[in-house]
Chains A and B, each alone.
Chain A
Amino acid sequence: MERIVCSWCRGQNEAGAEACTWCGAPLDQAEKVTDSGWREAPRLRDLAEFRFGNSTCQVEGEVVPVAEMNLAPGDGVFFEHHTLLWKDESVPLGMLPTAGGMARVLGGMPYVVTTATGPGRIAFSRDATGEVVVLHLHPSMELDVRGHAFLVASHSIRYSFIRIRGFNNILHGGEGMYMDQFVTVGEPGILLLHGYGNVFERTLGPGEKILLEPGGFLYKDSTVTMDVQQMPVRTGIFRHGLFLAEMTGPGRVGIQSMYLHHQVG
């Protein structure tokens, strides 16, 4: 039987499907890739729906999209508590045990990560214009994400945080001291991010490098290394240095166009 492969998540879909069953990306539109190799994150149609586990997620709205989940019994998600928009009364909330609580607080990471389990509906949104990016994580994937960019993740994903290596990265890299890390082991999972503005992804070849404004960084495969390069420019009344993140492949890098400009030195 003929199948359609989603160009965003590589998921298999039945012939005739208009949206990907696994990430909601439109299947009847050509992938949009710039001349320099950045592909636009798929713009989900209003009310696009996709599956994870035995549950579904519907994304509604276009300026600040809402991800509404219909959790099946036994399925669960976790999220930062301030992204919760509404929920059914019957949906129980809990806490995800996170190690390194004090280090998280010092690193500016969320101290409280909340869980919700089915059955029932629960919805999430962030606080600024942007796009919901659906990342389908296959088993044995590791993804590093900018702090406070994740919207919600399925319970099969392991959540931790990593310290950004190198004194220069911590001081000048613009990501704070820590990044969220999402790892899948035996089961696949779904991870939803909210990128400010528009979101683009590029796959770097082994050893391929780009320079990136740290505030534009959204996510990367853990195989992509991040270092800091100082530019020959000084800014502001106190002559701050200008630093860019040097990303080196192999792997994917995701960026957001409405970035928070980082200026320290």
Chain B
Amino acid sequence: MTDAGGPGSYTCRYCRMSSGGTDLSCPFCGAPVDVTERVTASGWEELPAIADLARIQFGRSDCQVSGLYVPVCDMNLAGDDWVFFSHNVLLWCDTQVELDALSLDGAWNRTLAGMPLVMMYAKGPGHVALSHNVPGETVAIPLHHGQIVDVLEHRFLAATGNVSYTWASSGVWFWTASGGEREQHLPIGRFIDRFTSEGNGLLLLHAPGNVFIRDLAPGQTILIQPSALLYKDASVGLQLHFEYPAGATQAPGSFGLGYRGFQTFLRLSGPGRVAVQSVWDNHSFHYARITSSSPSTQWAWG
């Protein structure tokens, strides 16, 4: 990727891109240059919020991020530069910006899975601004040629035109039985968004709450709440894991035979980077019997 701001004397600790370090923020991901690194004792690194009015370069265009609670990404598209995004994140645009639908395959499957059916593109010259609808942080991920990133559905904000977008089965599911009822569970959704850069591209996400990143070493594993996953490198493996807490033997208030309660986790295994968000859906504890699942492990306490 082209260096910005002069010779590569500064390497951003968050996106690992090299720049002159003369600006207040990294020109590739917007992270403040002078911020003190905040790493928890367990190794999670807090991703600093993009500074208000910071600019992120891509191609001949840039993106200015403004706002604190629900940041707005205001893109100044030059010439024929273009970006794509889900239609529901468009906030405003200049009248001369070309807007149209981006055709996607597998529309029926996407509709059934609750994923955005329509991607729009915006082509310069002119401004187009995007924002999501929950408080949180904008995450900018500069991508090298060939880099692949997997993103939890509904977290995508925008990507440059040279980033290809597909989706793959998440491969994470299980069925439970409780009484006479069977239920399918999809802890991270039926599909996961996959972005592959063809050249040097930019991927923008919006995460509810705060964002923490961690680089897993080969073979290193960690258990996370499934819906807390924000993104991961394609090299990071994921698998279901169930844990039965000691004493959680039957549903409160039930009589006779009950089902042992269990907690659902995602086991992430390195090598590669993972990011989690601090706001997630708390539907990961169940009182039921697991009848089938995608590849998984389990552990019973006590």
Contacts and interface: CB of A to CB of B under 8 A. Distances in A.
Contacts of B76: 35-36
Interface in A1-45: 32, 34-36, 38, 40, 43
B220 to A, nearest CB: 35
A212 B66 CA distance: 17
A129 B69 contact: yes
Specify which of B53, B64, B87 lies most central, judged by the most chain A CB atoms within 10 Å of its CB. Answer: B87
A235 interface: yes
Nearest to B72: A257
Interface stretch (B33-41, B130-138, B257-265): B130-138
B4 interface: no
Given A34-B74, A210-B94, A237 B69 contact: no
Given A129-B135, A234-B118, A259-B133, A211 B93 contact: yes
Interface of B: 52-53, 55, 64, 66-72, 74, 76, 87-88, 90-95, 99-101, 111, 117-118, 120, 127, 129, 131-135
A232 interface: yes
Contact of B72 (A63, A198, A261): A198
A100 interface: no
Contact of B66 (A40, A231, A244): A40
A260 interface: yes
Contacts of A200: 66-67, 72
A133 to B, nearest CB: 13
Contacts of B52: 32, 40
A235 B118 contact: yes
Contacts, number: 115
Specify which of A43, A234, A259 lies most central, judged by the most chain B CB atoms within 10 Å of its CB. Answer: A259
B101 A35 contact: no
Given A43-B68, A242-B120, 5 more contacts: A36-B94, A36-B129, A255-B91, A258-B131, A258-B135
A26 B95 CA distance: 34
A233 interface: yes
A263 B88 CA distance: 9
Nearest to B97: A211
A117 B115 CA distance: 50
Interface string A98-128: 0000000000000000000000000000000
A257 B111 contact: no
A75 interface: no
A261 B95 CA distance: 20
B72 A259 contact: no
A60 interface: no
Interface string A170-201: 00000000000000000000000000111010
Given A197-B135, A233-B99, A242 B87 contact: yes
